[in-house]
Amino acid sequence: MSILEFVLAGLGVGIAIGMTGVGGGSLMTPLLILGFGFSPSTAVGTDLLYAACTKSFGVYLHGRAGSVDWRTVAWMASGSVPAALMTVAWLQYHGITAWVEHLMTITLCAAIFTTALLSLFRARLMGNRAVGADAVVSAPVTATTRAVITVFAGLALGALVTLSSVGAGVLGTTLLLVLYPRLSMFRVVGTDISHAVPLTLIAGLGHLELGSAQPGTLLLLIAGSLPGIYLGTQLALRVRDVLLRALVTSLLLAAGTGILWHTLSAYGVVG
- Does the pLDDT value for residue 133 go beyond 70? no
**For the residues 14-26, what does the mean pLDDT come to?**
79
Contact 73, 194 (CB under 8 A): yes
Report the pLDDT value the prediction gives residue 137, as an integer from 0 to 100. Answer: 44
Question: How many other C-beta atoms are found inside a 10 Å radius of the C-beta of residue 148?
Answer: 13
Cβ atoms of 194 and 77 closer than 8 Å:
no
> What's the mean pLDDT when you consider all of the chain?
86
C-alpha 180: how far from chain center: 20
Strongest mean pLDDT among 176-190, 206-220, 256-270? 206-220
The pTM (predicted TM-score) of the whole model is 0.88
Residue 138 has pLDDT above 50, yes or no: no
Q: How confident is the model at residue 135 (pLDDT cuts 50, 70, 90)?
A: very low
Res 271: pLDDT: 59
139 pLDDT exceeds 60? no
Give 80's pLDDT tier (boundaries 50, 70, 90). very high
| Mean predicted confidence (pLDDT) in 202-229 | 94
| pLDDT tens-digit readout, 42-65 | 999 999 999 999 888 888 888 888
Q: What residues does each domain of the chain span?
A: 3-266
Instruction: Tell me the C-alpha distance between 222 and 154, whole Å.
Output: 27
Transcribe 207-244 into DSSP letters: HHHHT---HHHHHHHHHHHHHHHHHHHHHHTTS-HHHH
- Predicted local distance difference test score (pLDDT) of residue 269: 76
Burial annotation 96-122 (CB, 10 A radius, 16+ → b, else e): beeebbebbbbbbbbbbbbbbebbeeb
